[in-house]
Structure formats: C-alpha cells, structure tokens
Amino acid sequence: MAEAKKYPAPVTNPETAQFWEAAKAGKFLIKRCTACGEPHYFPRSICPFCFSDKTEWEEASGEATIYTYSLMRKSPTGPYAIAYVTLKEGPSLQTNIVDCDLTSLKIGQKVKVVFKPTDGAPLPFFTAA
C-alpha cells in the first residue's frame, strides 16, 4: 500500500534548497516572479515566462483541485494514483493522490497538500480535502 511505500530522498541543489528546508517545517513553497507577476512550479531562479531573475519564494495555501489522474494498477508496490493538480495560486503540478479512496477520484475534486517522510526532506503529496 501507499503508506508502506518508501520514497526517494530529494537530492536538492542550491537553486531548490529553500523549498526543501521549508518542507521540513511543513510549508509548501512556490516561486513567483515580481517582474511579470506569474507564479510557477517547480521552482526556478529565472522565471520560465518572462526570463526575469526577480523570482521570490511564496508560501502556497496547499489547496488544489485535480486536473487529471490515472490509477496505475501495474505496480509491484500496489496501485497508486498519479495526478496533476492545479494549485489555488495557479500553477499545475505532478503528484500522487494519497491516503483517501483512490477508486472514487474525480477531475475537479478538491485536494490539499500533505508531506510524507523520506530519508531526507519530506515530499509533497495531495489528499482529499
């Protein structure tokens, strides 16, 4: 089951270290560009839209809706739900839906962030809100 699954520790690098430090404190960060105003995910130092280097960390609400998902049945560790969720702040990101009924997931369903431990920094997942 998903609970027993061991997740790989993030390698991290100077560009993303702050994201993982915040994750250890239970905070879910995104990046926002102060030049064009657009938020993005995963975090980059240079904005992928306007290419400005004026990007800042911002704590996200952790609230999102499911954009799409697929319940993967062909897995040695048991079925798991991969998904894209769209954050309340705008960006969509790839994740797993965990700790809820995976057989009744729906596009548009409200979900919220939940962190799961690794041997390093914890990883963000999403569960039914």
Partner 1 sequence: MTIKGKAYIAGIYEHPTRHAPDKSTAQLHAEVAKGAIEDAGLTKADIDGYFCAGDAPGGLWPMVDYLGLKVRHVDSTETGGCSYLIHLGHAAEAIAAGKCSIALVTLAGKPRTGVMPPRAAGAEADFETAYGATTHNAYGMCAMRHMHDYGTTSEQLAWIKVAASHHAQYNPHAMLKDVVTVEDVINSPMISDPLHRMDCCVVTDGGGAMIVTTPEIAKSLKKPLVRLIGHGEAMKGPRGGKDLDLTYSAGVWSGPRAFEEAGITPKDIKYASIYDSFTITVLMQLEDLGFCKKGEGGKFVSDGNLISGVGKLPFNTDGGGLCSNHPVNRGGMTKILEAVRQLRGEAHPKVQVPNCDLAIAHGTGGLLGVRHAASTCILERV
Residues that bind partner 1 (CB under 8 A): 7-8, 10-12, 16, 20, 38, 40-42, 44, 47-49, 67-75, 80, 82-84, 86-87, 90-96, 107, 118, 123
As measured in angstroms, the least distance from the Cβ of 129 to partner 1 is 19
As measured in angstroms, the least distance from the Cβ of 22 to partner 1 is 14
Q: Which is nearer to partner 1, 9 or 128 (CB)?
A: 9
Q: Which is nearer to partner 1, 62 or 69 (CB)?
A: 69
Which residues 6+ apart lie within 8 Å of 94 measured at CB? 82, 83, 84
Task: Tell me the C-alpha distance between 4 and 124, whole Å.
Answer: 16
> Three-state SS string across 67-107, please?
EEEEEECCCCCCCEEEEEEEECCCCEEEEEECCCCHHHCCC
As measured in angstroms, the least distance from the Cβ of 7 to partner 1 is 5
